[in-house]
């Protein structure tokens, strides 16, 4: 009798355990899978994301660059700062081969959707040749605005004097960083003019790549003046 009771008790415990375990499994099964957390929406790319400049290239305050070739000639192009802000260009207008240029005078003009931006020459000298590849396919600039994608090849005069006014290597990168800050400040204080809403101001965000496509005419002109240092006179002369 005792033996039967003991066996029965054990059997009851085993059974109860089995039921509990089965229930637990059931509960586990019924817990819904965790909801998939929706990732934050992808930001369009920040205009200056991963911006790099080649080490031996001189940068001028009007956002052109100069690279001295072993022959002594200089390649001149548009820097990554203006490339990122301008985005895709419709065309590039280059100077004529053989003409004489002076530092601070219009050198080349880029066109984008009915608007244009003129860049000033960082050097004195003569135009030895221009890069037809860039003129034919300005999209190449989005891949790399330096190196092969120069605009003009210049035979410079008084080179050392001009180079002293430019930045290179770490001084060029810190100057570009300060230009980015200056640009952000420039954008944050310029109210956008809206047809029906009037003047608007926004708080937040970073400039997007190719943003000059979206700005009003006044902001475009102000950008040319403040960042490319193109004067009214230079613009009409270009």
SS3 (DSSP) at 86: helix
CA-based end-to-end distance of the chain? 114
Q: Is 34 in the site for another protein (CB under 8 A)?
A: no
Q: Is 196 in the site for another protein (CB under 8 A)?
A: yes
- One DSSP character per residue, 12-26 reads HHHHHHHHHHHHHHH
Task: Supply the minimum distance, in Å, between the C-beta of residue 202 and another protein.
Answer: 4
Token reading at 238: 């270009």
Q: Is 91 in the site for another protein (CB under 8 A)?
A: no
Q: 118, 102 in Cβ contact below 8 A?
A: no
How far is the C-alpha of 113 from the C-alpha of 220, rounded, in Å?
A: 12
Q: 107, 101 in Cβ contact below 8 A?
A: yes
Calculate the CA dihedral of residues 49, 55, 61, 66 and round it to 10 degrees.
-120
Task: Supply the minimum distance, in Å, between the C-beta of residue 161 and another protein.
Answer: 37
125 — alpha (psi -120 to 50), left (phi > 0) or beta? left
Neighbours of 16 (CB within 10 A): 10
Stretch that binds another protein, among 27-35, 54-62, 100-108, 200-208 (CB under 8 A): 200-208
Q: Is 208 in the site for another protein (CB under 8 A)?
A: yes
Among 14, 97, 100, 214, the residue binding another protein under the rule CB under 8 A is 214
Among 177, 194, 226, 233, the residue binding another protein under the rule CB under 8 A is 194
Among 132, 160, 200, 236, the residue binding another protein under the rule CB under 8 A is 200
Q: Is 178 in the site for another protein (CB under 8 A)?
A: no
Stretch that binds another protein, among 7-15, 18-26, 42-50, 149-157 (CB under 8 A): 42-50
Stretch that binds another protein, among 59-67, 68-76, 91-99, 206-214 (CB under 8 A): 206-214
Q: Is 186 in the site for another protein (CB under 8 A)?
A: no
Q: 223, 213 in Cβ contact below 8 A?
A: no
Please give the size of the binding site for another protein, defined by CB under 8 A: 31
**Interface residues with another protein (CB under 8 A)?**
40-46, 184-185, 187-189, 191-192, 194, 196-208, 211, 214-215
């Amino acid at each position: 009798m005792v033996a039967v009771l003991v066996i029965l008790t054990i059997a009851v415990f085993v059974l109860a355990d089995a039921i509990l375990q089965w229930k637990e499994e059931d509960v586990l099964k019924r817990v819904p899978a965790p909801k998939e957390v929706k990732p934050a929406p992808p930001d369009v790319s920040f205009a200056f994301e991963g911006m790099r400049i080649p080490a031996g290239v001189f940068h001028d305050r009007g956002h052109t660059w100069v690279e001295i070739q072993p022959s002594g000639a200089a390649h001149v192009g548009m820097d990554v700062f203006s490339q990122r802000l301008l985005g895709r260009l419709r065309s590039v207008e280059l100077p004529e081969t053989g003409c004489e240029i002076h530092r601070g005078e219009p050198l080349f003009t880029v066109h984008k959707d009915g608007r244009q931006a003129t860049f000033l020459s960082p050097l004195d000298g003569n135009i030895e040749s221009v890069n037809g590849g860039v003129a034919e396919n300005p999209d190449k600039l989005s891949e790399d605005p330096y190196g092969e994608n120069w605009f003009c090849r210049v035979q410079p005069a008084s080179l050392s004097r001009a180079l002293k006014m430019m930045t290179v290597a770490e001084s060029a990168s810190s100057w570009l960083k300060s230009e980015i800050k200056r640009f952000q400040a420039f954008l944050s204080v310029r109210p956008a003019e809206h047809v029906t809403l009037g003047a608007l101001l926004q708080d937040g965000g970073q400039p997007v790549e190719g943003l000059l496509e979206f700005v009003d005419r006044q902001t475009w002109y102000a950008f040319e003046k403040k960042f490319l240092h193109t004067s009214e006179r230079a613009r009409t002369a270009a």
